[in-house]
Amino acid sequence: MKYISFDNFKRLLDVLKDEYSVYVPVKSGEKRFFKRYQDFTEDIVIAEARTVEPAKAFFSRAREVVAEGFKDDVPYAPQKPFAIVGVKACDLKGFKVQDFVFKDHDYQDPFYMKAREENLIISADCSCAIDTCFCLALGLEPHPTEDFDLNLSQIKGGFLVDVGSQRGEALIEKQGSLFEDEREGQSIQREEQRQRVAKAVEDNIKMSAVPRQDRYKGVVEKKFESKIWEDEAKTCVECGACNTICPTCHCFLLYDQKDEQRMARLRIWDSCMIKDFARVAGGANPRGNLWMRLRNRFEKKFDYFPKVADIYACTGCGRCISACPAKIDIRKVLKKLVNDA
């Protein structure tokens, strides 16, 4: 394990700018957002809690051109790869689902693959918890344990640094003057902070009585025809925020667009909560009612993915709770499903 001081960390960010488009979390009010790094400013918060937007946006763009005219080549736009700093464990778990969809099969999405191969992920422990965080209920710790290049654990004076990949190892070797060996007592500081944050998340779970993931098995299937779905869908406005803000949601829509110069095919994020999501060319819609679309969202996360990928497609980040104007709370729905089942 290595250690990097705050001053040397700032120098590291400046070095990374030469090779990458660097993004860091900044704080505005009580919310955190990714921002393009130019110079180190006081609003940069590497630790703290997850950002409003999911890190998936750097790897699967909300809107991108996937074909132009009748050309066979893939239309890559020349740009620097990204270095995303301060990524939290909930977003890293999201990549497991994204990888399963776009990478881990015979057909691999070339855009996603390129992003995964080139972009640098420097994750960070959470140093606090938002009141909607419930990651521990999904078997996830509020600090990264895998799927990063480097991980930062903020302690007094700087960060402890864990290496998670060959790319991360190469970066430390290349910028060796910025790093030093771990000092005595620093691991204890980190462990104390991790326990403090875990307790805050546990308090959230107890306050909301969120059931643990070992109780989710089969609950959606058992309550498939339950009135729960109609009751919960009554306030939904079909905005799709719960899908677009989720680190695991991945559905997309292809559409063609032309102007005087060219014809292009674009891919945009789609939402299973929108009425036309499942509508077919003949006009039939197997999920014509809103409550069916809400049920589909839960079925995908808590029934389909555990069966096909052995993973729950929820990270406990609480973003959908914060984003929903109808105040539909995934924790409360899970509680009803488990208790009724």
Reported as a single tens digit per residue, the pLDDT across 173-184 is 999 999 999 999
Residues 6+ apart with CB under 8 A from 23: 34, 35, 36, 37, 58, 82, 83, 84, 85
Look at residue 76 in the predicted model and tell me its pLDDT.
66
**Please, are residues 38 and 74 in contact by the beta-carbon 8 Å criterion?**
no
Look at residue 262 in the predicted model and tell me its pLDDT.
82
Reported as a single tens digit per residue, the pLDDT across 97-135 is 999 999 998 889 999 999 999 999 999 999 999 999 999
Residues 6+ apart with CB under 8 A from 261: none
Give me the residue spans of the domains in the chain.
2-66+73-208, 213-340
Q: What is the pTM of this model?
A: 0.93
Per-run averaged pLDDT (10 residues), the chain, 341 residues: 96 96 96 96 96 96 87 72 97 97 92 94 98 97 97 97 97 96 94 98 97 95 95 95 96 89 90 93 92 96 96 97 96 95 74
